Structure 1
Amino acid sequence: MKDRMPNNIRWNHVKPPFLGDDAMTVVIDLARYGLEEQEEEIWVEGDSGSTVVSSIPFCIDGLALFDRIELNPDAGVLSILGRSGRGVFRVLVDQRIDTGEKWKLASRLSDFFIGSELAHEWNGEGFVSVDIPSLGAASEVQNGILDFKNVYWEWGVACENP
């Protein structure tokens, strides 16, 4: 596995509870995604022929939960072999607002995603990636996010599932 780059930022994921014994983490260099000196450690499951992404990516554009990938962990790169059809919606809470307001907004966002029965994962103070399993969920989230102020959002990968 690739050694950590000196003086860089690493995005880490909590181990998902559904993983089996063959789960492992791999570190992906984010330079090819425009994030120099940053890397993301994602959970995967399976052997090298059918490795499946088990994290909701924070920074890796075009990659979603349950996509099948081929890894070159020594080089910190991956190739997508098959899409799961799921999407990734990313939200950043404006870091310039008061800390108390930031926490209230993060709590409201979590309640919104939980109420929509969407898996999501927070990283740090105010950055969340959301698993979007269907086009209906995509529409609900994209319309619902408009009710929130002081947030920025983007699609990491569009949902393709009906």
Structure 2
Amino acid sequence: MTFEVDPIKFIVHDEPALRGESNYIARVDLAPFGFEDQVEQVWLRRMADDGEAVVCCIPFRACGLALRDMVRLSAESTVIELVRPSGSRALRALIAELDVEGIRRVNAEVQARISQSGLLFEWSGDRHVAIDVPPGADAEAIMDYFDAEEAADRLSWEWSDVVRFRI
């Protein structure tokens, strides 16, 4: 889901993967990743008063971050540093702008494959999904499906860590 405040577009997490563990919301500036005037609002669990926190959502657009990563916040509640990676990776896919039935069909198949895998995931609308892939988890069936759908121009996918986190 997104909403706009002035010229800035916020990417928000309606159902963060670890909502019960979160107690803080901060921002990630998306300009370094090619999304000018966009900010991702991330759910965190503050660890101490030193500005460190654990990521409690699966990033939709921020690169180089994943669920349970330790980050450092600025005084303005902006993520400014990846302190310690959790070892998880975020696998993200965007369903193409198909007709309503096409989006529904691809969405349902993505949901089914994620459910079979037992992995945590979040949706932004009905076309953008972020999946947590912890160390040792098997996401091969999902990736095989994504590869086939990408070849058919029905979705595109990426790992969030193909670009390192930066501000």
Using the size of structure 2 for normalisation, the TM-score is 0.81
* AA partner of residue 20 (structure 2): L
CA distance in 2, matches of 1:125, 1:104: 11
Question: Which residue in the other structure is 1:152 paired with?
Answer: 156
SS of 1:128's equivalent in the other structure is: strand
CA distance in 1, matches of 2:28, 2:159: 19
Whether 1:127 aligns to 2:131 is no
Equivalent pair of 1:69/1:79 in contact (CA under 8 Å): yes
Tell me how far 1:15 sits from its aligned partner: 4.6
Tell me how far 1:84 sits from its aligned partner: 0.3
* AA partner of residue 94 (structure 1): A
Question: Which residue in the other structure is 2:165 paired with?
Answer: none
Question: Which residue in the other structure is 2:65 paired with?
Answer: 63
- Provide structure 2 residue ranges, at least 5 long, that are not aligned to the other structure: 163-167
| Paired residues for 1:1-162 under 5 Å | 6-16=6-16, 18-20=19-21, 23-46=23-46, 47-49=48-50, 50-72=52-74, 74=76, 76-95=78-97, 97-148=98-149, 149=152, 150-157=154-161
**Over residues 98-144 of structure 1, what are the superposed CA-to-partner deviations in whole Å (9 max), with x where a residue is unaligned?**
11210121111011111111111110230111101135424443233
CA distance in 2, matches of 1:25, 1:15: 13
Q: Which stretch has the larger CA shift, 121-130 or 45-54?
A: 45-54
Q: 1:23 to 1:15 in 2, by over 3 A?
A: farther
SS of 2:60's equivalent in the other structure is: coil
Equivalent pair of 1:87/1:132 in contact (CA under 8 Å): yes
SS of 2:20's equivalent in the other structure is: coil
Over the aligned positions, Cα root-mean-square deviation in angstroms equals 2.2
CA distance in 1, matches of 2:39, 2:106: 27
SS of 1:58's equivalent in the other structure is: coil
- Provide structure 1 residue ranges, at least 5 long, that are not aligned to the other structure: none
Equivalent pair of 2:27/2:77 in contact (CA under 8 Å): no
Tell me how far 1:66 sits from its aligned partner: 0.2
